[in-house]
Structure 1
Amino acid sequence: MVKLLNIVDRLLIMDRLIRNKKTGNSEKFACVIGVSRSQLYNHLDEFKDLGVDIRYNRSLGSYEYCGELVPEIHEPIKIIKRKKQLVETNGGSFLKSPSLLDCLRLTLKDIYH
């Protein structure tokens, strides 16, 4: 089972590397974020499904954001310390194996609305 915090960390690392144009090729990028190349491509496809255009630039030797839409990724985890706080929230749920798309959906939702 993939842990939610691992996915959030992976998203933050991917975003930082892409913004700084220091991802390297797909093999190196996948290794740095701790996934296989096919899983990296799945993650990149999930970004594309959200309208974020990410392409490999051979002259830079790095992936980069190419379109008008660039994600703004924050650490979305809040620790609830008291049971009362949990009851007062608007609710929510976690998936057993959330994808990057699930983690990004809330962030990008705020951009569009």
Structure 2
Amino acid sequence: MNREHLREHLPIGTVVRVNGGSQSLMITTLFPVTEKGGKKGYFDFGAVPLPLGVVNQDLAFFNKEDIDEVLFLGYVDVSFQQLIANYDELISNIQYPKFTVEGYKK
């Protein structure tokens, strides 16, 4: 896998640093759905800050293009490889628009 491919398909447990961020985040959720201004949408990833993990049930949401650095690659098994193989189909079945970090902050 090349580096760009890694940013697109990251398994649970992957640790990243996002653009403009100094804290390491561990991916816990793929395609999390959230709500902003009464509208639902999704991001590529949901993550928790390290070393504390879940705090107040809040997740950090971001997309693959927001990742600055992959610090640790999470667990890749057959089920994750199947998810990658079906990635385009999974994305096309999401009924919500994709949010951006900039749009979500407003």
| Greater helix proportion | 1
Q: Same fold (TM over 0.5)?
A: no
* Rg comparison, structure with higher value: 1
Instruction: Please state which band the TM-score falls in when normalised by the shorter chain.
Output: under 0.3
| Greater strand proportion | 2
